[in-house]
Amino acid sequence: MLEKQHTIVSSITLKGTGLHTGTSCKMTFKPAPENYGIKFIRVDLNDRPEIPANTDYVIDVSRGTTLGLGEAKVHTVEHVLAAIVGLQIDNLIIELDGIEPPVEDGSAMPYVLALQKAGFQKQEAPKDYLIIDQTVMYHDEANQIDIVALPLDDYRLTVMVDYQNPALGSQHTGLFDLEKEFVSEFASARTFCFLSEVEDLTNSGLIKGGEIDNAVVIVDKKYNENELNELRKKIGIKEKVIIGSNGILNDKKLRFKNEPVRHKLLDLIGDLALIGAPIKTQILAARPGHKANVEFAKKIRKLYQQKKLEKKYQLVKKEGVIFDSEAIQKILPHRYPFLLVDRIVELELDKKVVGIKMVTINEPFFQGHFPGKPIMPGVLIIESMAQTGGVLLLNTFENPDDKLVYFMQINNAKFRKPVVPGDQLYLEVKLKNRKSKVVMMSGRAFVGDVLVAEADFMAAIVDRENKK
């Protein structure tokens, strides 16, 4: 796999009709600088809104992946993104004067050919690989969907589909070398659907740009000639439609014997591009779809964001420690004598954080609380939990160094056992809710296995003024 970032040499444009919206669109690929990433720009709208290609901007996954920012949307981005990932392009501007990229032939190959024609430019910055070092799983019991990422110093994907339908049957495929296999074995695999789905898709306002030549329609239901004609008119297809003898509408020939599952792998590559970084992992997927792909990508993206934060704030990685005291002072504004967490030992962004506070006799508050009977004030235990919880908010705002967290409310506070010099406080904080600049968290403090304090608290994130 390539180790340096890449963009394209020159701009190139494609024109056509969107698969689902049926609207015309001109799409132009343009070179982008290092560390820019992939962004869609709606040049037909005021202010030319830029929509980054990551899971934070996914707004719909019905029969395709749609990105949005405010009123701006871009439908069906997965085939374009698959081409970009398959060619290992890191930085790219994608300008559109419409709401959906041209569908072309329903595969990623037209985009691949355009990008190849534009040429590739090696850049100086290294690729920002996310190396998966732990198993990540997604399971949807209702739809029997499983997607797993396993540690591997490469990028491989294996996909299986089984629609329990004789028209398609069970199929599987695998990509083991992105550079050698993507273009020749997967890029030309076309989108597909069952004939029985076509009417429902039309009634749902989808496939308005669907044509016989931009999708594989699998015949899974008997239709007489009159029913086919009615369906053709409803969809808006002008050419004649026949059932055919090979199980594909109009006897269209498959480009691969297992073209449908290859297209599922193509979709998966495109949807996983929304992680926002190239990844090294082995992906195993059973019956994937856009909704599952995006939910799985969100889990991986959280891991990517967490690793970026660890890299940013931790000077020297220590075993069993996510952030040490030096890193914490980069993250939190608190200083002696009011910095009340010594290290972070566990972190799941937007979910949970665990911190450690070593309680020593040198704590300044023990001089007055209480002379001869030193006990850590309960409010400071809550403050320790709150400071620990502040680490959970690192990815909430673009520049966390410019923010402060203010208490607004403390509820259900209970102090169950005194905390004294020599104790080690184990601070577990979970994010319960977040709305705009207000967060709700719950915290528990332990000494050993003994719960010593707990509380729910609400906090507001405000701008830090007069930052030096």
Decide if 241 contacts 261 (C-beta within 8 A).
no
290 assigned to active site: yes
d(CA 296, CA 279): 13
φ, ψ for residue 294, nearest 5 deg: -70, -40
The answer for residues whose C-beta is within 8 angstroms of residue 142's C-beta and 6 or more apart is none
Decide if 380 contacts 407 (C-beta within 8 A).
no
Q: Pick the catalytic residue: 75, 172, 290, 334?
A: 290
Q: What number of CA atoms fall less than 13 Å from residue 75's CA on the CB side?
A: 21
DSSP codes of every residue in 352-408: EEEEEEE--TT-GGGGTS-TTS----HHHHHHHHHHHHHGGGTTTSS-GGGEEEEEE
75 assigned to active site: no
d(CA 435, CA 376): 32
Query: For residue 360, what are the CA distances in angstroms to 363, 385, 422, 456?
Result: 6, 17, 5, 26
Q: What H or E segment, with its residue span, contains residue 83?
A: helix 78-86
Q: Which amino acid is at 27?
A: M
- The catalytic residue positions are 290, 369
